[in-house]
Amino acid sequence: KQEVTQIPAALSVPEGENLVLNCSFTDSAIYNLQWFRQDPGKGLTSLLLIQSSQREQTSGRLNASLDKSSGRSTLYIAASQPGDSATYLCALNYGGSQGNLIFGKGTKLSVKP
Amino acid sequence: EADIYQTPRYLVIGTGKKITLECSQTMGHDKMYWYQQDPGMELHLIHYSYGVNSTEKGDLSSESTVSRIRTEHFPLTLESARPSHTSQYLCASSPSPGELFFGEGSRLTVL
């Protein structure tokens, strides 16, 4: 059974630091992987989607990598800002065309001014 | 920009009431999903639909039901709400496998 783990559960950094959030999974047979951001009491905002054939995706200050063989994905945030404070979730599409996702519990990021 | 809307955003009701959480999307996506999320916990899939008149149960057992009469609407209904149903319910739609757009969520509290 596919399991998704995100470490650390919470992270606090000063503004301007570069940081890495980790996502690990137990079964490498994934279709794709998506990183989301969730603000308190809100829905999820999609950040980056990596297909299983890709190794990384970039959007602005965000870079997500995928290593299926080791069961890992990382989300790199450059030059962090207080507005980056949120919970970051990774989700695996294990269902292929069904598109059903399994989510990690998330990493709660706090960027201090 | 995703156009998917959920109402109500917040709902506090008494035990035994029937409630319907609405979800609408204007993107013409065939696939839609309902997830349940307890505070600090991961999302769990409770229902999904591949199109009109198609509904399936998700990985997490739920006493709720859904319907898909129109492409743009995917309402979720609880016939008799209980305190154990207190949670956040998130609706999503998908243009391609694994790519989801979420609504803002409906936070339900059952007293």
Chain B residues in contact with A103 by the CB 8 A cut-off are 35, 42-44
Contact in structure between B87 and B40 (CB atoms under 8 Å): no
Judge: A104–B42 Cβ closer than 8 Å, yes or no: yes
Tell me the two tokens of residue A86: 């949120």
DSSP letters, A52-91, are TT-SEEEETTEEEEEETTTTEEEEEE-S--GGG-EEEEEE
- When pLDDT is averaged across residues B87-98 and rounded to a whole number, the result is 91
At B27-80, the pLDDT tens digits run 999 999 999 999 888 888 899 999 999 999 987 888 999 999 999 999 999 999
Whether A16 has its CB under 8 Å from any CB of chain B: the answer is: no
Q: Assign residue A97 a region (left: φ > 0; alpha: ψ between -120 and 50; beta: otherwise).
A: alpha
Judge: B100–A34 Cβ closer than 8 Å, yes or no: yes
d(CA A43, CA A48): 16
pLDDT string in tens for chain A (113-residue length):
788 999 999 999 999 999 999 999 998 888 889 999 999 888 899 999 999 999 999 999 999 999 999 999 999 999 999 999 999 999 998 765 566 788 999 999 999 99
Question: Nearest-CA residue of chain B relative to A104?
Answer: B42
Sheet strands side by side (includes B19-25): B4-7, B19-25, B76-78, B65-66
Judge: B40–A97 Cβ closer than 8 Å, yes or no: no
